[in-house]
Copies of this chain bind each other. A is one copy, B any other.
């Protein structure tokens, strides 16, 4: 069974086509919402007393998400993030970050989740991510995400984490920062030297590269037109959610399975960018996902 731990947040987003206040966000929320369309997913996270009732309803509206690991900490405040996308959507500016409960004691993995075998550690302090590992003794595949901040301020802890996971999913700029190599294939190989069996380097609108001990795979992004890209927030987490859910569903995690999982990640990300918050991924149903995957296979066919 798939489990994700990470942030659940309240986002404020300004984009070239509009703004949205207090939408549901956070790495674990996007991951779980995307994953739940393909496989059941357990969520471990913490919010504060200010967590909006409509966010609870939104998350509850995804039948595949088990919320038993969602802690509402009455003494704290929910993680909040504000960002602005500029006209070309390729640059994001962080306007504010209030960590709130995210800087406190991490949430515990409930007893009922202890047998989870496919683990995704969404972006968080690497020490928190390492701490989760000990609460998940039956893990068969562990994959983590990270971000620039931890590469800069918690490098040793991040390297410890990388020595204990099977895979890592990160952006091209993060990969470059981590191993000081801009070429994504070479950067991926350097990351494997730090421990993982595979690295997925995400390139946003340019797709992703999987670098694995058993091979390399490349995938373009879904070719979305400008007017359907409303809010790229959470696209990377949705990509990871689609990937990991496919892996969980398939019961294998060899190179071929991982390569196949990239298309599911791509398709889930393509729904996320179509609306603010979780609305894009919410709008997807089984038929829409199957049809978009077929479309993507046609777009990306190498004859």
Contacts and interface: CB of A to CB of B under 8 A. Distances in A.
Copies in the complex: 2
Given A220-B220, A303-B256, A206 B209 contact: no
B223 A209 contact: yes
A300 B217 contact: yes
A219 interface: yes
B209 A207 contact: no
A263 interface: yes
A207 B183 contact: no
Contact of A181 (B182, B207, B221, B226): B226
A105 B189 CA distance: 51
Nearest to A300: B302
Interface in A168-217: 181-186, 189, 203, 206-207, 209, 215-217
Interface of A: 87-90, 181-186, 189, 203, 206-207, 209, 215-221, 223-227, 229, 256, 259-260, 262-263, 296-303
- What are the 9 closest A-B residue pairs judged by CB atoms, nearest first? A260-B303, A183-B226, A206-B206, A218-B220, A186-B226, A88-B182, A185-B223, A186-B225, A300-B302
Given A88-B182, A185-B224, A207-B220, 17 more contacts: A87-B182, A182-B226, A183-B225, A183-B229, A185-B223, A186-B225, A206-B206, A207-B207, A217-B299, A218-B220, A218-B223, A219-B220, A219-B302, A220-B220, A262-B302, A263-B302, A300-B302
21 contacts: A87-B182, A88-B182, A90-B182, A183-B224, A183-B226, A185-B226, A203-B206, A206-B206, A207-B218, A215-B298, A215-B299, A217-B299, A218-B220, A218-B221, A218-B299, A218-B300, A220-B220, A259-B303, A260-B303, A296-B302, A301-B302
